[in-house]
């Protein structure tokens, strides 16, 4: 359930990220179009005001003459004003009109050979924003794909790491059986296996006595694991399980059966009678 929620969350996050990136791109495109429309509208207003009756002949002449010199156009328009406030107004209008006309003439005189350069290419801020958004989108897509595709492998990493080798600790049960009358012998030899992470259960006794210690294994499931367990407990002899040990091991693939040759091992406890 948790892995399903992680996958759904990764997909939803990726979809929302792409949606936000698309909205940002549309916003920049709309802002660029609005700016171009405003410039075109200002040129049309300027052209209409020059042909209307509200513009004095002096302002029209100043604008036409000073199309490339806004300051001269402003001075010419202010010279015919009846007062200082009107002079300032006329000068400002003439300056703005002359500036717009100058930009308009520059666009008209642009060379027509080949395709016209798009307006947005001249705006380095828009280019930078689009590039940054594109990089963020690519990074988000790559991260989302990585999370979706590699989610299962990441969640299963601890299990895979613990399952390396033919006898993985934490996943292998090992029976430790005492085939001698010496008490505590099985518990003593179960200690190193527990330290390695193996599940030592059952820890008990055999019905028949054993003279030589042996690591017994189930031929179908424990043959490869027997050599690993044999090295840990220090018992080189290995052989398939007989029926008695199979029953005592309670289905474990490997059983360590201790014989009289291990009865004198140091560290054997005398308090755990029976094992």
Q: Clarify whether residues 8 and 131 are in a common domain.
A: yes
Q: Is pLDDT above 90 for 237?
A: yes
Which residues are within 8 A (CB) of 241 and not within 5 positions of it... i.e. 6 or more apart? 216, 217, 218, 219, 249, 255
Return the number of other C-beta atoms located less than 10 Å from residue 188's C-beta.
20
pLDDT at 189 over 60: yes
3-state SS class at 254: strand
The pLDDT of residue 117 is 53
* Residue with the two structure tokens 């009109």: 97
Q: Which of 151, 182, 198 is the last residue of a domain?
A: 151
**CATH no. for residue 182?**
3.30.70.2390
Higher pLDDT, 122 or 239: 239
Residue 166 placed within a domain: no
Confidence label for 253 from pLDDT (cuts 50, 70 and 90):
very high
pLDDT over 60 (residue 85) = yes
Q: What is the pLDDT of residues 93-107, one digit of tens each?
A: 877 877 877 777 777
Q: Which long-range contacts (CB under 8 A, 24 or more apart) does 163-169 make?
A: 165/228, 166/224, 166/225, 166/228, 167/224, 167/225, 167/228, 167/229, 167/254, 169/196, 169/197, 169/198
Pair (125, 233) in one structural domain:
no
Q: Average pLDDT in the 122-145 region?
A: 73
Per-residue confidence band for 92, with pLDDT thresholds at 50, 70 and 90: confident
**CA 58/CA 85 separation, integer angstroms:** 17
Cα three-residue angle 53-93-109, rounded to 5 degrees: 90
pLDDT at 68 over 70: no
| Residue 179 and residue 51 in one domain | no
Pair (6, 136) in one structural domain: yes
Query: For the CA atoms of the chain, what is the radius of gyration?
Result: 45
Residue 267 above 50 pLDDT? Answer: no
The reply to whether 200 and 133 lie within a common domain is no
Contacts of 68 (CB under 8 A, 6+ apart): 98, 102, 105
Q: Is residue 72 part of a domain?
A: yes
Residue 126 within any structural domain of the chain? yes
pLDDT attached to residue 268:
42
Domain contains 275: no
* Domain-terminating residue out of 118, 151, 184: 151
Report the predicted TM-score, pTM, of the whole model to 2 decimal places: 0.41
Residue 216 has pLDDT above 60, yes or no: yes
pLDDT at residue 266 tops 50: no
- Mean pLDDT for the chain? 74
Distance between CA atoms of residues 190 and 176, nearest Å: 6
Q: Is residue 161 in a domain?
A: no
Domain stops at, among 120, 151, 182 = 151
Are residues 32 and 134 both part of a single domain? yes
| Half-sphere exposure of residue 119: CA atoms within 13 angstroms, side-chain side | 11
The pLDDT score that the predictor gives to residue 104 is 75
Instruction: Specify the higher pLDDT residue, 29 or 53.
Output: 29
Rounded to the nearest 10 degrees, what angle do helices 124-149 and 2-51 cross at? Answer: 170
- Considering only CA atoms, which of 187, 181, 236, 230 is closest in space to residue 210? 181
* CB atoms inside a 10 Å sphere around CB 241: 23
> Could you tell me which residue, 178 or 166, shows the higher pLDDT?
178
In the chain, the number of structural domains is: 2
Domain residue limits at 42: 2-151
Q: How far apart are CA 113 and CA 152, in angstroms?
A: 58
How long, in residues, is the chain?
275
| pLDDT on residue 158 | 43
Query: What angle do the packed helices 70-79 and 57-65 form, to 10 degrees?
Result: 160
Please tell me the distance from the alpha carbon of residue 60 to that of residue 97, in angstroms, as a whole number: 10
Q: Which two tokens stand for residue 185?
A: 């012998």
d(CA 167, CA 229): 8
30 — phi, psi (to 5°)? -65, -40
- Is 40 found in the same domain as 143? yes
Percent of the chain with pLDDT over 90: 29
């Amino acid at each position: 359930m948790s892995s399903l929620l992680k996958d759904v969350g990764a997909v939803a996050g990726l979809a929302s990220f792409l949606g936000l990136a698309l909205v940002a791109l549309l916003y920049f495109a709309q802002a660029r179009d609005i700016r171009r429309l405003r410039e075109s509208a200002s040129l049309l207003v300027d052209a209409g005001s020059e042909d209307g009756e509200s513009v004095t002949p002096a302002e029209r002449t100043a604008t036409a003459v000073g199309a490339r010199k806004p300051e001269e156009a402003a001075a010419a328009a202010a010279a015919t004003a009846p007062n200082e406030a009107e002079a300032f107004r006329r000068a400002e209008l003439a300056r703005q009109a002359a500036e717009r006309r100058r930009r308009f003439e520059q666009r008209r005189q642009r060379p027509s050979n080949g395709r016209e350069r798009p307006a947005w290419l001249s705006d380095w801020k828009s280019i930078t924003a689009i590039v940054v958004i594109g990089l963020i989108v690519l990074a988000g897509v790559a991260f989302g794909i990585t999370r979706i595709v590699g989610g299962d492998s990441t969640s299963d990493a601890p299990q895979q790491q613990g399952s390396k080798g033919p006898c993985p600790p934490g996943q292998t049960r090992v029976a430790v059986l005492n085939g001698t009358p010496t008490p505590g012998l099985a518990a003593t030899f179960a200690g190193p296996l527990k330290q390695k992470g193996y599940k030592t259960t059952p820890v008990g006794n055999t019905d028949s006595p054993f003279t030589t210690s042996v690591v017994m294994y189930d031929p179908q499931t424990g043959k490869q694991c027997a050599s690993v367990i044999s090295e840990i407990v220090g018992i080189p002899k290995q052989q398939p399980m007989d029926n008695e040990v199979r029953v005592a091991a309670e289905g474990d693939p490997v059983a360590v059966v201790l014989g009289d040759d291990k009865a004198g091992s140091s560290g054997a406890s005398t308090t755990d009678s029976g094992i």
